[in-house]
Structure 1
Amino acid sequence: MLVSRRMSSPVITVSESTPIMEALDLMRRQNIRRTPVVNKKGKMIGIVSDKDLLNAGPSEATSLSVWEVNYLLAKLSVKDVMTKDVLTVTEDTPIEEAAYIMAENKIGGLPVMRGQEIVGLIT
């Protein structure tokens, strides 16, 4: 079976300038755990997961007030926490190969590409 038969499509993406709290809210509303990051021209430049966004905050042991934490988080955008070197597959990749790539690299999903265009996400 090919990736094209199981991928999620269309893909929800975020802009590189999206604030991390806005991206996290979008992911929660759409019930997704990762999303490709695109530049102004719509080209994929990275991927961000909910864990990337949550780990951007300070540790639980911080001495910062909630207002200070929120102020600092508001200054961070997706481009500050995204993974830049993204592994991808094409629509005609066998699903077993995609599963192997994800397992070997300990990742939960792969963008599915058609040339330079993101056409899906396989998880």
Structure 2
Amino acid sequence: MSSNVVATRPETPINEAHQIMRENNIRRLPVVDKGRLVGLITIGDVREASPSDATTLSIWELNYLWSQLTVEKVMTRNVMTVNPATPILDAAELMLEHKVSGLPVVDEKGSLIGIITESDIFRMLVRNRLPQSTS
């Protein structure tokens, strides 16, 4: 689990959320309001909300519209989460079942305390692998 999680707020413009994801090399960004997890926005959500290349709008119109779009308008609500006591294999199973690549970790109050991702699980597997036999 990664515990110093980069997060955003619902009123953040989507272009700022996209910039945060690029700067931190992350694909998902938890959305927090008053200390509680209220949603999740992914790089896929940002791409879906992006204007089509086939648009007839000018670059200025596109930039204006893009700057007015906020995270809360495109984020996923009712995000599947785990708690700190959830066994890693249970979290991995949830991720496989629901085809998600990360799960926010929240406490009993719904406060975001971490996130577990595919990379965290792969890292754990590699670090804890059993020695291979040479036979």
Q: What TM-score do the two structures reach when normalised by structure 1?
A: 0.89
What RMSD, in angstroms, separates the aligned Cα atoms of the two structures?
1.0
Q: How far apart are the structure 2 equivalents of 1:28 and 1:72?
A: 20
Q: How far apart are the structure 1 equivalents of 2:53 and 2:88?
A: 39
Q: How far apart are the structure 1 equivalents of 2:116 and 2:32?
A: 18
Q: How far apart are the structure 2 equivalents of 1:122 and 1:90?
A: 10
Match of 1:75 among 65, 68, 74: 68
User: How far apart are 1:55 and its partner, in Å?
Assistant: 1.3
Q: How far apart are the structure 2 equivalents of 1:69 and 1:104?
A: 37
| Ranges in structure 2 where 5+ consecutive residues have no aligned partner | 118-135
2:78 alignment partner in structure 1: 85
**Higher helix proportion:** 2
Match of 1:60 among 53, 62, 83: 53
2:6 alignment partner in structure 1: 12
| Ranges in structure 1 where 5+ consecutive residues have no aligned partner | 1-6
Match of 2:111 among 97, 101, 117: 117
Q: How far apart are the structure 1 equivalents of 2:37 and 2:111?
A: 8
Q: How far apart are the structure 2 equivalents of 1:70 and 1:10?
A: 32
Q: Deviations over 1:71-112 (max 9, x none)?
A: 111110000000001000011111111111111111110001
Runs in 1 of length 4+ with deviation above 4 angstroms?
none
SS of the residue corresponding to residue 89 of structure 1 reads coil
User: How far apart are 1:64 and its partner, in Å?
Assistant: 1.5
Match of 1:28 among 13, 17, 22: 22
Letter in 1 for 2:28: R
Aligned partners of 1:58 and 1:69 also within 8 Å:
yes
Q: How far apart are the structure 2 equivalents of 1:86 and 1:58?
A: 25
Q: Rg bigger for which structure? A: 2
